[in-house]
Amino acid sequence: MSPSLILFAVPAFFALIGVELWLCRRRGRRGYRFSDALANLACGVGEQVIVSVVSGGVLVYLFLFERAALARLPEGALWSWAACFVAVDFCYYWAHRASHRVNFMWAAHAVHHQSEDYNLSVALRQSWLQRALSWPFFWPLAVLGFPTGMVVTTYTLNILYQFWIHTQLVGRMGPLEWALNTPSHHRVHHGVDSAYLDRNHGGVLIVWDRLFGTFCAEGAPPRYGVVQPLASFSALRANVDPWRRLARMAAAEPRLSGKLLVWFRPPEWRSTATSPDEGPLRTDPDYVLHDVARPRRARALAAALFLAALLGAIAYLHASPGMAAGPLWAGAVVLLAALAAVGALLDGPSLPAPGAAALDASSSRGAPLVDPRAR
């Protein structure tokens, strides 16, 4: 995603989050929790910092386009952009679907699903590694002749579209539900209910899910999160813990082939050689939302540190195209360290907040969850 589009979108993101927060309070709904929302935003800021220093996927695409393109679509033609929109959305569907079915890809993508709330801040909860793992699904477009800039711009717009569908305040949208990915469809995608797992992977269009058998209409209100909860508000842990868990599973396998296959198996797979201590699952009927009671001073310090990191990241993204490698990486390390410190302040040593159980009541009205898949 180009820095110019990111910086243009940031004020709109925060303005819309503010509007949603205001509407939730006006309607008597507790749609936001401070620590969860701040963790979501910290993940998003970190993702943009990482993308600014790791661009191998784009470079490979550019190389393939320059050396292996069968044709070159004209960038000024409207039909080229229309074809690129459909092609990018098609590739996005398969990249997204694979990220739910292959362990090493899920380890990255799980970050986006870890929030146990569902609001516009969740749209900004992005994995620091997902982009790098997704690019290979788009490389065939280079061979087909779609220019690099066209694909990057179309992909960016695809992701920006998906911001607004992360809300519980918009109901079903009539005939648009047949073709477009809507809040109703995407709520299903974020649900951990057994009927909702691995459904509705589309970006802008929902037609791919209808065509390839992964579509599910919204029924009972979903529970949100991942089946095996993170139990942390740290953006660093959000991105690291899924990989640590996979590494532990691989280490426990007695044979080399088993150690390798762990990374490519589906997320629900369990080996007889491993019995990970998974703790309470999000699918347990009596599960209580993860929350911690933090002193007001710690929350204020976390907010101030995040704001400083956000402003620093905006300045960093402005300057990064012209930076030398040394300052570029040093700036990234400083910003990621600041975001890790925000998470440490939010987690703290506290016990679960007394009101956490009540927070889950409004999101647990669906059918009992029985699927034990540790996602």
pLDDT tens column, 275-284 = 555 678 888 8
Q: Report, as an integer, the average pLDDT of 268-281.
A: 72
216-225 burial string, b = 16+ CB within 10 Å, else e?
A: bebeebbbbb
Tell me the whole-structure pTM to 2 decimals: 0.90
Q: Which pLDDT score is estimated for 260? A: 96
Is the C-alpha dihedral spanning 121, 122, 128, 133 positive or negative? Answer: negative
- Return the percentage of the chain with pLDDT > 90, whole number: 79
Q: Which pLDDT score is estimated for 4? A: 61
Q: Report, as an integer, the average pLDDT of 55-72.
A: 93
Q: Which pLDDT score is estimated for 356? A: 44
Q: What angle do CA 59, 60, 64 make, to 5 degrees?
A: 120
pLDDT band at 5 (very low <50, low <70, confident <90, very high): confident
Rounded to the nearest integer, the mean pLDDT of the chain is 90
Output the 3-class SS for 163-211.
Answer: CCCCCCCCCCCHHHHHCECCHHHHHHHHECCCCCCCCCCCCCECHHHHH
Residue with tokens 């970190």: 46
* CB 203 within 8 Å of CB 181: yes
Q: Which pLDDT score is estimated for 274? A: 61
Phi and psi for 113 in degrees, rounded to 5?
-100, -5
Q: Report, as an integer, the average pLDDT of 313-325.
A: 90
Tell me the per-residue pLDDT of 113-141, one tens digit each, with 9 for 90 and over. Answer: 999 999 999 999 999 999 999 999 999 99
Which amino acid, residue 20? E
Which amino acid, residue 132? A
Q: Which pLDDT score is estimated for 375? A: 52
Q: Which pLDDT score is estimated for 355? A: 44
**DSSP reduced 3-state for 6:** helix
Q: Which pLDDT score is estimated for 8? A: 83
Describe the chain by its helix, strand, coil percentages, rounded to 5: 60, 0, 40
